[in-house]
Structure 1
């Protein structure tokens, strides 16, 4: 095969060490570096000394990020490649052989780079992904609060729609302070919840012990802290996405997509979608929402979707679930595209042998 890149470098990246292989017209050289910043700078200087124009490395966990940050600063072209695409031929395997294999694939133009956005979008991604993690943690704390209340035989969730609402929060704060009278607790109800005062008195008649009060106080304090952190992250994300308000507003018009989901879509995909994805089908495939193809002898077999971008995938799945349960044109079109089959249309199956 023809050599397309004369001066190339392949990196086999690990947590504590990096094995690098450089191939140039003068020959081949292999070195091992540690992953501290001081040694990474030595690696960059070594690559520049050999005038390498391209560097390829596996997308192993988060270990590729420090290297990419330095290569980007030096304006050296890099390729972060899916590890499944560059598996060597089965046989002997060492870090040196892996680095040589990556370098050879790079020189012959056989590597397909992964989508690595620019630094600003990478920073936005980290903020949005961390915000999503905090939201998930807050949801877990809500579930823990519900378990504590059930353990105390308090059926507050059977009456109110949101146990973290203003009225419910006032009731739980009173419980933490030692209040046990159901009538006094039900008096914290506000607005339309006042109509359910009798039901509330029955639901609030329980037996909360001392250790449950401690747990409830700790959980509510943690929830308050998470809410404060989420406000800070919301402000930072909104500041970074301020130039793209028009894109966010357009996404917000789609049923099921609110502002936070729109921000996550822009953070994961970017604003210049047309340059990265030729069509909507390419974008869906990259996210991992398109099933694979497994057909043989005219028969279609079971096929799974690829992993794709798990953050954007989970967000879009949540959007799809909310759309299906609401009254809008997308939900109606989904129902119309899946008509119910009559019994005569179901495929016949032979009975199971006894």
Structure 2
């Protein structure tokens, strides 16, 4: 006897999460579904009172677990708000819910689709770090961006010098080091004599004074000098912010040690031989 085939209309899934909801996260509105019947899908704004209203509606409907997509950074405060109301939150990679053929995407349809997948247990929650790790990661990522911004300023400083045929990068490996700083600040103060500028360099440089003087004899342009000053001030600004960020990370870790009793968890930023960060209050 031939085995009877199961048609798509006959296929069923077991209900895993009975009291579930699905949220399609957006930058301006969030669509929330607790089913496919009329009145079971609502649209909420992104203001704080909107998030409270959403959570209160979900609690009134007996919702215990909620799935939402990790859309940009718009999900973070909603994630925390749902947790504060005592609901289990399943943060899902958007590629797991939307890469399905045959679906016509829309905010309403997406929220209902997320609800369906979550109800039958087909969604896997993404890893969420602890509060301590999240805070520390925020600080360290900001620190990384400060270093990148300072690096871009350094490249622009070198460009301004080269445009005036000041070949400082050829004779000094680090234009923001001790020798480079002294020379650039002298240039910005009005010094144009190559020999006098060369005399400011550290004696440990490989290039001799004569070569330095030749490299520091340029074709001065007011526009390039103005741009050089702007980039130099920006570089100093980023270095002060970097020092403040290091202090904040150190204080954050020390407070964590005191509150948890964990020993030897102290932040000490690595310094290379060419670390030339400017103190917070230096000019």
Same fold, TM exceeding 0.5? Answer: yes
Superposed, which structure 2 residues align to 1:74-89 within 5 Å? Answer: 74-87=85-98, 88-89=100-101
SS of structure 2 residue aligned to 1:192: coil
Hey, what does 2:8 align to over in structure 1?
none
Following the alignment from structure 1 to structure 2, what is the Cα–Cα distance between the partners of residues 10 and 162?
54
Superposed, which structure 2 residues align to 1:140-179 within 5 Å? Answer: 140-179=152-191
Is the 8 Å Cα contact of residues 11 and 102 (structure 1) preserved in structure 2?
yes
Which structure has the bigger radius of gyration? 2
What TM-score does the superposition give when structure 2 sets the normalisation length? 0.83
Tell whether 2:103 aligns with 1:91.
yes
Hey, what does 1:331 align to over in structure 2?
none
SS of structure 2 residue aligned to 1:10: strand
SS of structure 2 residue aligned to 1:55: strand
Moved more, 98-107 or 186-195: 186-195
Superposed, which structure 2 residues align to 1:309-320 within 5 Å? Answer: none
Tell whether 2:59 aligns with 1:39.
no
Hey, what does 1:310 align to over in structure 2?
none
Which residue of the other structure, out of 107, 132, 145, is the alignment partner of 2:144?
132
Gaps of 5+ in 1: 253-257, 261-354
Hey, what does 2:23 align to over in structure 1?
11
Following the alignment from structure 1 to structure 2, what is the Cα–Cα distance between the partners of residues 194 and 145?
22
1:229-252 Cα deviation digits (max 9, x unpaired): 111111111222343674779xx9
Quote the offset at 1:220 in angstroms.
0.9
SS of structure 1 residue aligned to 2:53: helix
Is the 8 Å Cα contact of residues 248 and 259 (structure 1) preserved in structure 2?
no
What TM-score does the superposition give when structure 1 sets the normalisation length? 0.67
CA RMSD between the two structures:
2.3
SS of structure 1 residue aligned to 2:66: strand
Superposed, which structure 2 residues align to 1:227-242 within 5 Å? Answer: 227-242=239-254
1:273-302 Cα deviation digits (max 9, x unpaired): xxxxxxxxxxxxxxxxxxxxxxxxxxxxxx
Quote the offset at 1:194 in angstroms.
8.1
Hey, what does 2:197 align to over in structure 1?
185
Report how many aligned residue pairs link the two structures: 252
Bigger relative CO (Cα 8 Å, ≥ 6 apart): 2
1:202-225 Cα deviation digits (max 9, x unpaired): 110111211111111111111111
